[in-house]
A = this chain, B = another copy of it.
């Protein structure tokens, strides 16, 4: 069992404003479990009974489309919370959370988290900020999907992956391992297309392959390829 007071992510998470007493209460109320790669934390269509907090690992949130293809709508790393969208709106989960590498997650029952939100208005504000940020990213993705060609979207996906998971110690290897299919399911394109475009990026020196990982020697070049100006 992980102690919230000792959690490394504590100060970077939505719980950064909690007092020790509140954190202690959290620790006493929560559960903790190991999620292996490809296992689900929650599934689309089910009702939420609490909030998940990702202590370590990496998770993808995806929606299953009519045609059977996954659309990845969010990615989570250590310190991120999961399942708040459905929990707060009182709806079913609209996406499935699946570990893309072995992860540990804590589960905070609905009662406990809702009480905390009511008492602690700065936690409430943090959650609003979180949702607002998610909404900004989602809406910007809508615009991209509607207006940008696949190649630009692919470059942007790499930039997003770097934003979320950062580089490894070498300062140029994106610190996450995804299959080409998963990358396609972020970009919103066919697997073959993403394979082709990544190969093209490699040939033009934009990126390099390092096993399953992707190296970005020059971020600026990627920014140009993604056609983003800010």
| Residues from 56 to 103 in A contacting B, C-beta threshold 8 Å | 63, 65-67, 69, 71, 73-74, 84-86, 88-91, 94-95
**A94 & B139 in contact (Cβ 8 Å cutoff):** yes
Interface string of A119-155 (1 = CB under 8 A from B): 1010011011101111110111111011110000000
A147 and B89 in contact, given A94-B139, A121-B117, A141-B142 (Cβ under 8 angstroms) = no
A89 and B121 in contact, given A65-B146, A142-B138 (Cβ under 8 angstroms) = no
Question: Complex: how many Å from CA A94 to CA B142?
Answer: 12
Closest-by-CB residue of B relative to A228 is B66
Query: For chain A, which range describes its interface: under 10, 10 to 19, 20 to 34, or 35 or more residues?
Result: 35 or more
A50 touches B (CB below 8 Å): no
Closest-by-CB residue of B relative to A145 is B145
Closest-by-CB residue of B relative to A141 is B142
Q: Which residues of A contact B (CB under 8 A)?
A: 63, 65-67, 69, 71, 73-74, 84-86, 88-91, 94-95, 117-119, 121, 124-125, 127-129, 131-136, 138-143, 145-148, 188-189, 227, 229
